[in-house]
Homo-oligomer: A and B are copies of this chain.
Amino acid sequence: MSNVEGMRKIRRFIGGMIGWTVMSAGAGQPAAPHLDLWRVYHDSFESAKYIDLTHAFAPGQPAGSGFGDLKVGPARAAVAIPGLIEKGEPFSYEKQGAGITAYELPTDQVGTQLDPPAHWGAYAASISELPATYALRPLVVIDVSSQVSADPGYAATLDDVKRWEARHGRIPAGSVVMFRTDWSKKWNDAARFTQRPFPGVTLPALQFLHLQRHILFHGHEPLDTDMTPDFQAEAWLMHNNFTQAEGVANLDQVPEAGALIIIGYAKPEGGTGGLARYIAVAPPSWPHGVTLQDASGAPLPTYAKPLRRGTDGVLRR
């Protein structure tokens, strides 16, 4: 447990559930720069609030009309395993003690998404070509929910962006900018969610964010960027090699300024749509979100009710 070369020692506080501390090896010794990120994690992320901005995907969720619904069910054995499973038999908790799931996705435009520009062009980047810097970014939330509650077809304007800057300062380059409309609260009513009018984002707002503020991408709660017949805003984004997030949730639980976003997704080779998971990280004083003290993640809880497959093939309690 002693360290060579005067590097800092990392020790867990005895009796602390999560806590660990970075102690310098001795008075006057220099800090070890190669452990700086662990110190940063300890100081700024161990007590932070984490908010999931993702809808879990399942059949029957809101989707465009152009594709069939996704299908979910138990995985089936491709070969017999004597004494365990017949060929073609579904795996189950009851017989094999195993939960294994199969999916048919007629489209990759499913649920909470990250659209890469290869969705609209063969010479543009696919999901597996996005750089590793799609990972952690500042998160800006522009709240137009009051405008949308007065007019469900409201599209966020450049003025909305400038109003945010008047309150909070210049939007950081490289950040992710989400438009809060509270449309995501209709997610469990798929017909209502996809019905027009729905809220959008105007092209001038997006052009300002990308060309003047150099953001990474913007996100919105509906499944389309706007209601124009030629998908004006999405077309401009995709044809100019920008990505976008769609179907985002829980933006009402995130501060307008000062949070970070963690960007995750499945990584199919050459993928044209992103099955995404977005997590916001907010300061300890923020009232929403879970902490490491609330939910360390290991061990996970044992539930009182078992998972059972519904008629739609999805495991639920």
Are B112 and A106 interface neighbours, CB within 8 A? no
Contacts A18-B173, A97-B120, A131-B290 known; 4 new A-B pairs at CB < 8 A: A56-B267, A117-B300, A134-B297, A262-B262
Check A133–B166 contact: CB distance below 8 A: no
Give the docked Cα–Cα distance between A99 and B304 (Å).
Answer: 44
Task: Compute how far the CA of A280 lies from the CA of B89 in the bound complex, rounded to whole angstroms.
Answer: 39
- Asked whether A3 is an interface residue with its Cβ less than 8 Å from the other chain, the reply is yes
Interface residues of A in 13-28 (CB under 8 A from B): 16-20
- Which of B9, B109, B300 has a CB less than 8 Å from the CB of A125? B300
> Which residue of chain B is the closest to A272 with respect to CB atoms?
B99
A50 to B12 Cα, complex, angstroms = 27
In the complex formed, the residue of B with least CB distance to A109 is B100
List the one stretch of A33-41, A147-155, A190-198 in contact with chain B.
A33-41
How far is B2's CA from A307's CA once the two chains are assembled, in angstroms? Answer: 53
Q: How large is the interface on A (under 10, 10 to 19, 20 to 34, 35 or more residues)?
A: 35 or more
Among A122, A130, A301, the most chain B Cβ lie within 10 Å of the Cβ of A122
A17 partner residues in chain B, CB cutoff 8 A? 173, 214
Q: Report whether A122 and B99 are in contact in the complex, using a CB–CB cutoff of 8 Å.
A: yes
Supposing A124-B303, A125-B300, A307-B118 touch, asked if A277 and B267 sit within 8 A by C-beta, the answer is yes
Q: Hey, which chain B residues are within 8 Å of A168, CB to CB?
A: 3, 7, 10
Bound state CA distance, A307 and B267, in angstroms? 16
Contact A265 B277 (CB under 8 A): yes
- What is the CA–CA distance of A142 and B46 in the complex, to the nearest angstrom? 23
Using a CB-CB cutoff of 8 Å, which residues 100-136 of chain A contact chain B? Answer: 100-109, 111-112, 116-126, 128-136
